[in-house]
Each structure stands twice: as structure tokens, then as C-alpha cells.
Amino acid sequence: MHSFVYLASQSPRRSQLLDQLGVRHELLLPDAQEDAEALEVVLRNEAPKTYVQRVTGLKLAAAQARLARRQLPLAPVLCADTTVAMGKTIFGKPADAGDARRMLRALSNRPHRVITAIALGWGERRVAACSESWVTFADMSEDDIAAYVATGEPMGKAGAYAVQGRAAAHIAHLSGSYSGIMGLPLFETAQALRTLGFTL
């Protein structure tokens, strides 16, 4: 029986979502010398779902190596990655405010997918899952987009928005997993944890 998991994510939302499940966790964040961003590079012609699953697997391998290197107490390691996609186009984290405006313009009034993959590792065992949801923004004017980008919320977020933040004022419809859109699909995460012996 495990008493806690390591969460290898800098996202405060993922930590809050694990709290919601009542799962005790400790953060297992990259060292200064680790190039965490390099893991998120998209390969040529890579499909969004393939991309997000591959990146999550790489994050898990890096986190398990980190755990061993730091000689920390052993426990399952949880990783996740979220991407926003329209067709085969992947919308990652915006490089700057201009890039955020470009993304939001493209997403305005058109449905898009939010795909979050999770990977849970315990020794040699791996459990992986993927959640796919759909989000539709209302028609956003240039002023709407500029005002939202000015809040700073889009920075560091896939697709340049946070569903649980001010972007909610512009989201007309969503279907799928709300927690998955936030960054950690709770149903799939709970199933993965049960597979490794957690009681929820």
C-alpha cells in the first residue's frame, strides 16, 4: 500500500486536483540543470495525441531518474501533459503576448480539442491514460483578446488560456473532462492510482 505519490509537475492546478481526490503527494520538480522544456519539442508531422503521450512518457522517465538520483524514499511518480489542438495543429504555451493573441484569435468561435495524457510509474510498472475534451470559445473581439492577454493568465498555458480562470467568461461550450482540461483528468488518474494499489 502506498501512502503518497510524487507529482512531477510545476502546475499548482494539478496539485489542487490531487488534493481534491484526497491523494497525499510531494512535488518532484526538475533540477536547475535539467532542460524540462526540451522534452516538449514537437516532432515533424506528429499528431497531437501521439505528441502528448510521448511527452508524458519522457517526463515520467526524467522524473524517475530524478527520484533515483536524489535517493528519495520510493513511491509512485505521476506525470501529465496537456495540449490544445485544432485539427493537426498543436497550440503549446505562448512565447509572448503577441503569440497568445494569435492563438486566441485562431481558437475564437471554433471548437478545439484539449488532450491531457497521464503516466504513473512505480518501479517497472507503468500505467498511462489519455483524456480528450472539446472546448468552444464564443466569438472574441480584438478588445476581448487584448484584455484577456493583459491579465497575464495566458502565459505558461497550453493554448494560451486557463479554463478555471478568466477565460471561462468566453467559453460557450465544453464537453469531456473539466479536470482534464485543467490539466489532470481525475477519473483516469483515480483509475491509474487504483491499478497501483491506492484506495480512493
pLDDT for 198 beyond 80? yes
Walk me through the domains of the chain, giving residue ranges and CATH numbers.
Answer: 5-195 (3.90.950.10)
Residue 96 is a catalytic residue:
no
Average the pLDDT over 27-53 and give the result. Answer: 91
Mean pLDDT of 74-90: 96
Model pLDDT, residue 199: 83
pLDDT of residue 31: 87
Rounded to the nearest integer, the mean pLDDT of the chain is: 95
Judged against a pLDDT cut of 90, whether residue 88 lies above it is answered with yes
- Would the pLDDT of 28 be above 90? yes
Residue appearing with cell numbers 530524478: 66
pLDDT of amino acid 34: 86
d(Cα 196, Cα 92) in Å, to the nearest integer?
31
DSSP three-state, residue 147: helix
Q: How far apart are CA 143 and CA 50, in angstroms?
A: 35
Assign 1 a pLDDT band (cuts: 50, 70, 90).
low
Mean pLDDT in residue range 161-165: 95
* Pairing relationship of beta strands 111-122 and 77-86 according to DSSP bridges: antiparallel
> Residue range 22-45: average pLDDT?
90
Catalytic residue among 19, 31, 81, 143: 81
DSSP label at 83?
E
pTM: 0.94
What's the confidence (pLDDT) of residue 133?
A: 98
SS (H, E, C) 160-175: HCCCCCHHHHHEEEEE
pLDDT level of residue 179 (50, 70, 90 thresholds): very high
